[in-house]
Structure 1
Amino acid sequence: MDKTYFTTLTAFNRASTAQVSSWLRQISDVQWQQPVVSSFSSIHETVLHMVNAENAWLQRLKNETVIRVDETFTGSRHELLDLWEQTSQQLSDWVAGFDETRLNLSFSYRRFNGQEYRSRYYQVLAHVVNHATYHRGQIVTLLRQAGFTAIQSTDLIGFYREEV
């Protein structure tokens, strides 16, 4: 694996986040807050988790103190979606500036429960994009259940097809 692979993955993540965010800007407040049976209790809570996770991983990668978005954010839906898009852009920018020779090196970080772990940079980068893809898929299902059907694919292969 090389840096180009992760630059492409984070570009995919950024583009897919922007696409899903555009759909979420179109739904009503009722749909945004509607109780659901899923990993989280609403579309809002799912997005809040995604922003929190991506932001936390970015802070860990940068060896910064992790500030939990899910405990501090008090803004509107559109402000949360803006923050999500900004965080995805920041991750992409961080990868673009990352020294490729360090991809296989490990670093220490703490999970939210305080437990310390070590992982390789490439493993964390792959995880962050995979985690976002998983939850974007949930959001697609939740949007359909809420009656929003103007949805297109956000699959990785579709992103690759656009690049060719």
Structure 2
Amino acid sequence: MNADAFRHFYNYHFAENRKLWETYIPLLTQEQFTRDLGYSLGSVRNQLVHLMSVDDTWFSGLRGVEIPEPLNPAHFENRDDIRSYWDNVERSMVAYLEGLRDDMLFDKPLQDEDKALVLWQVLLHVVNHGTDHRAQILCMLNKLGVKTASQDYIFFVYENP
């Protein structure tokens, strides 16, 4: 593993997130977007807010800035507001990743209960967490009648050699 490999994995992470926003989320009514489906975090909106909140939390820690409080989905009724916040989180992640170097991957940049984690573990966790929650979102979308496609990493590789 090296810094370029992690940037590649994050290109996958960002591309799949954008696919949710650009392909599937616009197909939902507001009622469907916020409907509690009795699965995982409840609604598609709640999943999206959780995903961006977790990305923001981990990367805030990596950047050494104040860790934000977990976002409350109820404060995000408007999809445009969520997307705007989401895009800002992604931009800050991209900026961090642009400065990532191979020699940083074994650093321990976090504090408190996460102080034993090395950087590569955190970076891998965030991508894996995103894959997990996107899979949950795809399941929820399917329950709402939206036809979805696979988010398998290998398909990203085929399209982005």
Q: Structures share a fold, TM > 0.5?
A: yes
Which of 137, 140, 161 lines up with 2:138 in the alignment?
140
Q: Which ranges of structure 1 fall in alignment gaps of 5 or more residues?
A: none
What is the root-mean-square deviation of aligned Cα atoms in Å? 1.9
1:19 is matched with 19
Q: Name the TM-score, length of structure 2 as normaliser.
A: 0.90
Which of 145, 152, 161 lines up with 2:149 in the alignment?
152
Tell me if structure 1 keeps the 8 A contact 2:46–2:73.
Answer: no
2:111 is matched with 109
Name the CA shift for 1:72/1:147 in 2 (closer, same or farther; >3 Å): closer
3-state SS, counterpart of residue 137 of structure 1: helix
1:163 is matched with 160
Q: Name the TM-score, length of structure 1 as normaliser.
A: 0.88
Name the CA shift for 1:91/1:129 in 2 (closer, same or farther; >3 Å): same
Structure 1's consecutive aligned runs of 4 or more residues displaced over 4 angstroms after TM superposition are none
Q: Which ranges of structure 2 fall in alignment gaps of 5 or more residues?
A: none
Q: What's the CA shift for 1:69?
A: 4.9
Give the letter aligned to residue 25 of structure 1: P
Name the CA shift for 1:155/1:161 in 2 (closer, same or farther; >3 Å): same
Question: How many percent identity over aligned positions?
Answer: 21
Query: In structure 2, what is the Cα distance between the partners aligned to 1:12 and 1:92?
Result: 12
Tell me if structure 2 keeps the 8 A contact 1:40–1:46.
Answer: yes
Considering fraction of residues, name the structure with more strand: 1
Q: What's the CA shift for 1:35?
A: 1.1
1:7 is matched with 7
Name the CA shift for 1:6/1:36 in 2 (closer, same or farther; >3 Å): same
2:101 is matched with 99
